[in-house]
A and B are shown apart, each in its own frame.
Chain A
Amino acid sequence: MKVKESDKKLLSTFKADDPTIQELRTIAKNLGIKLKRNMNKKEILKAVRKEIKRLEEPSNQKIGQVSEYTKSTKNLQKLPKSNESEELPKKYEKDKLKLMPVNPHWAYAYWEFSEKSRKKLKKLSKNSNITIRVIKKSTGNQEEEKEVIETNLELEQSNNIYFSLPQDDSTYAAFLGVENKNEEFTALIESNEITTPSSSLKSSDKEEWFLLKEEKVIEEKVIKENKKKGLRLWGVEKHAGSSEKMFINKRKSNGINFGRD
């Protein structure tokens, strides 16, 4: 028997609420269950659950319908517990170099190689260093890309690193490759580009404003009087984080935390 659309709605009602005996009778009726007059709530509930279980067996499934897992001892012995896990794969056999900004002056990089690249690197590294180069990408005012960091790696060392970056609000990319004794660098893997967050005030003599009613953008000159009036911008040291963090971290916890400090 297929579950009708109306029945599906009823089933979700049944699952989400604690139905009254009247509601249960309606659900049972819609599911085509014959009820005896003298049945109490518990008995009707049992009959409804039985029918739902039957409807939701894989053979009766419709797309997207919930499969209720039956908690039998037999099943639970075969399956892991919901809090059990195994170790994660060591590698994914691909060439990858990923950059992630941490803050205005730090970035994190992780990488891995396919077996093919690993062999190639091993061969090349006999006469060269395996190197990660970080490049600051050019902006409109600069003429060329600028190398900012270079780090030599051991092939078997851990596959991640943190870089200190010279400038906030700037775009960087990384290259993993080999550098020979003549300082010639051959890139094998290129990372994604990142832009570090800004930590400096922008100055401009113009502001853009949007007039909601007219749906129009206008330009206005920056008003300098604000400083005189005492309107102040807050310093970065004020940016401490979430409410609980500050309140709780200053005090010694002696027990189970709430999972959010």
Chain B
Amino acid sequence: MKSKKGKILFLLHAHLPYIHHPDFENFMEERWLFEALTETYIPLIKVFKSLEKANIPFKLTISLSPTLMEMLNLNDLREKYHKHLLKLIELTEKEIIRTKFEDPRKYELAQHYRRELMEDMEIFSEEYHQDILKSFKEFKDKGYIEVITSNGTHGYLPFYRDYPEAIRAQIKSAVLTYKKYFGDRPKGIWLAECAYFKGLDRYLSQEDIRYFFVDTHGFTYADSKPRYDVYRPIITPNKVFVFARDPESSEQIWSAEIGYPGDPRYREFYRDIGYDREDDYIKPYIDPSGIRCNTGIKYHRITDKSLSLDKKEIYDLREAENVVKEHARDYLHKKTLQIRKLSTILDEEEPIIVAPFDAELFGHWWYEGPKFLEELFRQSFENEDLEFSTPSEFLQTVKKVQITYPAESSWGGGGYHDVWLNSKNDWIYKHIHEITERMIEKANTFKFPSNLQKRVLNQMMREVLLAQASDWPFIMTTGTTIEYAKNRVKCHINRFFDLEKMLEKQEINDERLSFYEWVDNIFRNIDYTIFSSDYRTN
């Protein structure tokens, strides 16, 4: 008996915190966006183009966080990225000359990097006129990808559950920002950090969001155990569909122990010429302060995880390309077996395997990741057991769905809220809750503000939302830029208080207000009334 087909749903969550320092020519943390563009977003666009050119159908879900969308739309960041690319191209040209006498394999890689960067420049500047969001819209409109959103500033929503207005503001800003760039409303949402609490679905329902995702145990400990485990969506009593992560399918890709990215033949992330080259040579291409950082030009392979960085062997591009093919084949084989097994279990229902990832895993952390995705789609073209799908496409086939609430959960370490609430970051919540409460109060008080008052209130809204970002407590727990994260929380809270004082004293300092508007230049199409208690959704 021939097995029924099953579906795979790949989701890439693309998010970066809002980092914008227009008063600095160079700012270290702004490089996160530039690295993500060069190593993940543009390579993904190249994959889409390559597949389209080869007439290979592909289905992929991408969630773009509103903070990322807004940053990709800022002129000064676009200009900075343009300069950043030019610098990198210049560096590869120097590297081509230099590696010619070092090692033929390095020389070949330097040429490869230059070619890649020239293509990036072509795509970024010439083809999309510095507007990368247009390319995502293009592939969305062609039906290849389903683009969804994430909460406004990636706020960790379970911590604001006592403030319905704040939850609404995070969801509303997500919907409005998505609409601004994609023209329609988002069909689904990737909740920041996959963090869900009971009742959150009601807010999503009010915004006509049809589906969201939870981690595996969101289903395991659901109010009523889902009959088909994580292999079919459920629906909440508020009529929102929920998909859950299949641990096996994501682990095969990202696990350090058994995952593909740890293969010794893949490129070593931590060995970068930003650290290897001598000061005078590398200085123009790292942070002006002299702090070493990644350039993205790397010549070594993982070799052996236990080896120190100086013992790593030279990376072989062609060998890595073969490994990508091998791994894509292996993954599809495993998924085929899984689908066949599931098909025998799931009665008459078609199984769906949900595999969500942080987008930056593909390309940034795992250099070969985008090529792996491309290979997956190429090889799955002929597969008779499974095919890739998107949530909306899959939901069209659903006739009957189990009703239950998923359990409160996140996809952070431990599965709950520990990463975002612990002794390293708990001090922030007293202050963020305070400004959240004051923002709600102001939104309820100022019903007919003057133009100037409205500007102040709108900026206060931006500061509250930016302070709520889950990134700051996350970095405090795990990151290497802890001081930056602490500083950002303080900045937004202090700016809020400064603006509040202006409003209360009726002494608005236009210069400082303009400065805050210039720096925290986000959600221009949204006003502060999203924080009012009687704000009408939809």
Cβ contact within 8 Å between B511 and A102: no
Q: Does B255 contact A (CB under 8 A)?
A: yes
Cβ contact within 8 Å between A207 and B407: no
Question: Given that A246-B254, A259-B29 are known contacts, is A82 also in contact with B480, CB under 8 Å in the complex?
Answer: no
Cβ contact within 8 Å between B129 and A100: no
**CB-based nearest B residue for A110:** B430
Q: Does B16 contact A (CB under 8 A)?
A: yes
Say which residue of B357, B431, B513 sits within 8 Å of A88 (CB atoms).
B431
Say which residue of B261, B361, B415 sits within 8 Å of A239 (CB atoms).
B415
Q: In the complex, what distance in Å separates the CA atom of A223 from the CA atom of B349? A: 14
Q: Which chain B residues border A82 with CB–CB below 8 Å?
A: 20-24, 491, 519
**CB-based nearest B residue for A103:** B416
Q: Does B185 contact A (CB under 8 A)?
A: no
Question: Closest approach, in angstroms, between the C-beta of B178 and any C-beta of chain A?
Answer: 16
Q: Does B183 contact A (CB under 8 A)?
A: no
Q: Does B418 contact A (CB under 8 A)?
A: yes
Q: Does B309 contact A (CB under 8 A)?
A: yes
Cβ contact within 8 Å between B344 and A210: no
Q: Does B334 contact A (CB under 8 A)?
A: no
Q: Which chain B residues border A152 with CB–CB below 8 Å?
A: none
Q: In the complex, what distance in Å separates the CA atom of A192 from the CA atom of B429? A: 15
Cβ contact within 8 Å between B162 and A260: no
Cβ contact within 8 Å between B481 and A257: yes
Q: Which chain A residues border B517 with CB–CB below 8 Å?
A: 66-67, 69
Q: In the complex, what distance in Å separates the CA atom of A235 from the CA atom of B197? A: 20
Q: In the complex, what distance in Å separates the CA atom of A100 from the CA atom of B421? A: 9
Question: Closest approach, in angstroms, between the C-beta of A71 and any C-beta of chain B?
Answer: 7
Q: In the complex, what distance in Å separates the CA atom of A58 from the CA atom of B450? A: 13
Q: Which chain A residues border B455 with CB–CB below 8 Å?
A: 61, 64, 67
Q: Does B478 contact A (CB under 8 A)?
A: yes
Cβ contact within 8 Å between A234 and B217: yes
Q: Which of B197, B455, B475 lies at the interface centre, i.e. has the most chain A CB atoms within 10 A of its CB?
A: B455
Q: Which chain B residues border A250 with CB–CB below 8 Å?
A: 256-257
Question: Closest approach, in angstroms, between the C-beta of A119 and any C-beta of chain B?
Answer: 21
Cβ contact within 8 Å between B21 and A87: no
Q: Does A143 contact B (CB under 8 A)?
A: no
**Which A residues between 48 and 81 are near B, CB-CB below 8 angstroms?**
58, 61-64, 66-69, 71, 75-76, 78-79, 81
Flag the segment in A27-35, A123-131, A195-203 that touches B.
A195-203
Q: Which of B220, B427, B478, B494 lies at the interface centre, i.e. has the most chain A CB atoms within 10 A of its CB?
A: B220
Q: Does B173 contact A (CB under 8 A)?
A: no
Q: Does A1 contact B (CB under 8 A)?
A: no
Question: Given that A88-B431, A212-B401 are known contacts, is A102 also in contact with B417, CB under 8 Å in the complex?
Answer: yes
Cβ contact within 8 Å between B511 and A79: yes
Q: Does B3 contact A (CB under 8 A)?
A: no
Q: Which chain A residues border B474 with CB–CB below 8 Å?
A: 260
Question: Closest approach, in angstroms, between the C-beta of A23 and any C-beta of chain B?
Answer: 11
**CB-based nearest A residue for B217:** A239
Question: Given that A83-B491, A251-B305, A255-B275 are known contacts, is A260 also in contact with B471, CB under 8 Å in the complex?
Answer: yes
**1/0 per position for B1-44, CB-CB distance to A under 8 A?**
00000000000000111001111100111011001100000000
Q: Which chain A residues border B497 with CB–CB below 8 Å?
A: 89
Q: Which chain A residues border B423 with CB–CB below 8 Å?
A: 162
Q: Which of B130, B227, B423, B431 lies at the interface centre, i.e. has the most chain A CB atoms within 10 A of its CB?
A: B227
Cβ contact within 8 Å between A247 and B494: no
Flag the segment in A11-19, A39-47, A133-141, A176-184 that touches B.
A11-19
Q: In the complex, what distance in Å separates the CA atom of A54 from the CA atom of B494? A: 30
Q: Which chain A residues border B490 with CB–CB below 8 Å?
A: 85-88
Q: Which chain A residues border B429 with CB–CB below 8 Å?
A: 98, 100, 110
Question: Given that A61-B451, A242-B411 are known contacts, is A67 also in contact with B514, CB under 8 Å in the complex?
Answer: yes
Q: In the complex, what distance in Å separates the CA atom of A101 from the CA atom of B253? A: 31
Q: Which chain B residues border A204 with CB–CB below 8 Å?
A: 224-225
Question: Given that A15-B75, A210-B235, A243-B361 are known contacts, is A258 also in contact with B221, CB under 8 Å in the complex?
Answer: no
Q: Does A208 contact B (CB under 8 A)?
A: yes
Q: Which chain B residues border A226 with CB–CB below 8 Å?
A: 227, 345
Question: Given that A100-B159, A198-B408 are known contacts, is A230 also in contact with B341, CB under 8 Å in the complex?
Answer: yes
Q: Which chain B residues border A61 with CB–CB below 8 Å?
A: 451, 455
Question: Closest approach, in angstroms, between the C-beta of A159 and any C-beta of chain B?
Answer: 8
Cβ contact within 8 Å between B261 and A247: yes
Q: Which chain B residues border A6 with CB–CB below 8 Å?
A: none
**1/0 per position for B490-533, CB-CB distance to A under 8 A?**
11011001000000000000111111011101001001000000
Say which residue of B197, B365, B513 sits within 8 Å of A247 (CB atoms).
B365
Q: Does A112 contact B (CB under 8 A)?
A: yes
Question: Given that A226-B227, A255-B294, A259-B479 are known contacts, is A68 also in contact with B518, CB under 8 Å in the complex?
Answer: yes
Q: Which chain B residues border A202 with CB–CB below 8 Å?
A: 221-225
Q: In the complex, what distance in Å separates the CA atom of A27 from the CA atom of B375? A: 45
Q: Which chain B residues border A230 with CB–CB below 8 Å?
A: 341, 345
Q: Which chain A residues border B515 with CB–CB below 8 Å?
A: 69, 75, 79
Q: Which chain A residues border B400 with CB–CB below 8 Å?
A: 209-212
* Chain A residues proximal to chain B, CB less than 8 Å: 15-18, 58, 61-64, 66-69, 71, 75-76, 78-79, 81-89, 92, 98, 100-104, 106, 108, 110, 112, 159-160, 162, 169, 192, 195, 197-204, 206-213, 217, 222-223, 226, 229-234, 236, 238-261
Q: A58-B510, A213-B399 are in contact. List 14 more A-B contacts (CB 8 A).
A: A88-B490, A102-B416, A102-B418, A108-B426, A204-B224, A207-B224, A207-B402, A212-B399, A241-B411, A243-B357, A244-B358, A254-B275, A255-B294, A260-B358
What are 20 A-to-B residue pairs whose CB atoms are below 8 Å?
A17-B131, A63-B454, A67-B514, A67-B517, A79-B515, A82-B21, A83-B487, A87-B490, A201-B225, A202-B221, A207-B402, A209-B403, A231-B228, A232-B229, A243-B253, A246-B254, A248-B365, A255-B294, A257-B479, A259-B16
The 3 tightest CB contacts between A and B, nearest first, are A69-B518, A250-B256, A239-B415
